[in-house]
A and B are shown apart, each in its own frame.
Chain A
């Protein structure tokens, strides 16, 4: 037991002597939270629209004014030929083309129906979907006005839908992102720093000197894991405080639940980090492998895109994704106020994960070759 304390003392001395360590602990979370949560947003403002008005009637102008009035659209150009508009789309000057055909007004009056054409740059599928939805809502609004003009009264639909958004009433993207970004931070500390630390001992050769001493395997490993566990827990607390103060992120649930789950989650990523360190010999190799796992886990975790929209196999694959569990728990507890009982399933999964990854890593770690 005393030996572990000496090893811990040595590890902490080394960690804090490392000049990049303090910035990693304090600056990294602030920068990531600030940049990612402000920049990564699903909302689209000022969609660049090119309008081809071939009708040039009061009705077509009425429709154009609807777009002009919308805060989501910015009209970049008008023309009367589709060819010109297409050029704008190709050169990225416009995101979408709205074409109002000739006799638009005439058709509307004579036949009670008319059509317009939308051409959307759909390279980014989700952005295209949003543009479509925004355009649709404006045209719907226009339709309602037309009906009112024609029939002279306000039409009521038989079924009315009213919606309210729970847990994030303003649909604030930051509230959705920040808990996830905190998970990302804790993961970096747990997986990268621990893997790199052990491999560094291999790279420099100090592990050889340690291996000929009576230090037990468990003592050495505990000495490597405990400091990063402590740092990661601290990081989470620091990140939560920062998120609360700067972003006013709601913390509805109990923080004890968050930290209870976090303590197990960090163990599971530490286990992965240690496992990576046993199969690699240089910090570069460790870095690449840790990066590989983290990218896959992160992209599938629901941090950026909802897990529900992923194909079935991908959702099933998330069973082995610790990041997905923890992001889910973070969002549930912080935003919905879920109690420990509500997150017991992901918690148990994380416990299993931690036990498995640590056992595997400890078994793989050899003092002898």
Chain B
């Protein structure tokens, strides 16, 4: 990895509002060169607004941001040379073929497919069999791969990916993140936004965004460590009733459904209280076990704490 810890992206006090709605509220953060940095947050958290400011498509109301030392307002022309952007919505020419799209984006950056083929090779060979097919006729996962190739064909220093995995099947999502890990090895700084919290653990560092602010920035491990209370997984014969009972229990701090289990934190630190309560509600065959929280639990807790 890089020995010097120079900052690739530096943002301070960035604000943007649309009318009365504050989309970004005094954001500040630093991202190191070669980092794979994730912005995690629900829809409307301000992720796309932030990315549009960083890619010089939108002007901020206040604050400033630099990419590789270049100001997003003053040096926008230079920035456009060094970034690769993949918008949330598929934005390639649907009526042009895979090959035509790629060579078009290569030529407008003054380069050729051959010149940077090494960089995209691993991804491109997967879509190469369909190179004569119009981009609009590709499957969702293929489209993402093509979009990533087009965003990288000019060998950018920073890759900005806005929700690249939204609407993509689970297998393609996994593949996509593997590709990102590989790209990172080329020293490219990657910032990526996603509403899927499970993807957070695949980043070097993540920022949890909600309502235009960053609630926490840390490595995925440290974010999990911030979870400072015992977490229980509870299961019963009637999950619906279990959910209702636990939501109305005065000892419940949080209760979220995760697959077959309900993840529960309580005010009282004694887990026996749960058993007693569930018995009183005539639950049968229930299961209670203490578990280590995953990143999703950590985010849910952070969000709940902030909104209090």
Identify B56's interface contact among A10, A13, A206, A368, CB under 8 A.
A368
Instruction: Tell me the nearest residue of chain A to B150, going by C-beta.
Output: A209
Cβ proximity bits B263-282 to A, threshold 8 Å, 1 near / 0 not: 00000000000000000000
Known: A213-B80, A214-B81. A6 touches B59 (CB 8 A): no
B92 close to chain A: CB less than 8 A: yes
- A369: CB under 8 A from chain B? yes
Q: Are B108 and A212 in contact (CB under 8 A)?
A: no
Bound Cα distance from A30 to B34, whole angstroms = 61
Knowing A368-B58, A369-B57 are in contact, say whether A212-B100 is a contact too (CB < 8 A): no
Cβ-defined contact, A204 with B108, below 8 A: no
- On chain B, the residues within 8 Å of A215 by CB distance are 108
Q: Of the candidates A14, A17, A214, which one forms a contact with B80 in the assembled complex, judged by CB atoms under 8 Å apart? A: A214
Interface of chain B, helix or strand or loop or mixed? loop
* B82-90, B202-210, B227-235 - interface stretch: B82-90
Q: Are the C-beta atoms of B92 and A10 separated by less than 8 Å? A: no
In the assembled complex, A47 has its CB within 8 A of some CB on chain B: no
Which residues of A from 289 to 331 have beta carbons under 8 Å from B? Answer: none
Q: Answer whether A13 and B96 are a contact pair too, CB < 8 Å, given A208-B57, A369-B58.
A: yes
CB pair B105 A213 closer than 8 Å = yes
Q: Does B104 contact A (CB under 8 A)?
A: yes
Asked if B108 and A214 make an inter-chain contact with CB atoms under 8 angstroms apart, the answer reads: yes
Residue pair A205, B90 in contact (C-beta under 8 Å): yes
Chain B residues in 8 Å Cβ range of A18: 95
Asked if A345 lies at the interface with its beta carbon under 8 angstroms from chain B, I say no
Residue of A nearest to B147 (CB): A209
Question: Any chain A CB within 8 A of the CB of B117?
Answer: no
Are A206's CB and B91's CB within 8 A? yes
> C-beta contact mask, A1-12 vs B, less than 8 Å → 1, else 0?
011001100100
126-181 of chain A: CB within 8 A of chain B = none
Total contacts A to B, CB within 8 angstroms? Answer: 69
Given that A209-B91, A368-B57 are contacting pairs, would A10 and B85 also be in contact in the complex, using a CB cutoff of 8 Å? no
Report yes or no: A17 in contact with B95, Cβ–Cβ below 8 A.
Answer: yes
B258 beta carbon closer than 8 Å to chain A: no
A225 to chain B, nearest CB (A): 17
Kindly list chain B residues whose C-beta atoms are within 8 Å of the C-beta of A213. Answer: 80, 105, 108-109
B38-79 to A contact mask, C-beta < 8 Å, 1/0: 000000000000000001111100000000000000001100
Q: Are A205 and B95 in contact (CB under 8 A)?
A: no
B116 at the interface (CB under 8 A from A): no
Is there a chain B Cβ closer than 8 Å to A211's Cβ? yes
B82 nearest in chain A by CB position = A214
B residues less than 8 Å from A212 (CB atoms): 55-57, 80, 83, 85
* CB-contact partner of B59 in A205, A209, A369, under 8 A: A369
Among residues of B, the one whose C-beta sits closest to the C-beta of A369 is B58
Q: Which of A6, A204, A369 contacts B91 (CB 8 A)?
A: A204
One digit per residue, 1 when the CB lies within 8 angstroms of any chain B CB and 0 when it does not, for chain A 221-259 equals 000000000000000000000000000000000000000
B13 at the interface (CB under 8 A from A): no
Q: Which residue of B lies closest to A14 (CB)?
A: B95
A13 touches B108 (CB 8 A): no
The chain B residue sitting closest to A209, CB to CB, is: B91
Residues of B within 8 A of A (CB): 55-59, 76-77, 80-81, 83, 85, 87, 89-96, 100, 104-105, 107-110, 150
Residues of A within 8 A of B (CB): 2-3, 6-7, 10, 13-14, 17-18, 204-206, 208-215, 367-369
**3 A-B pairs closest in CB distance:** A205-B91, A209-B91, A6-B107
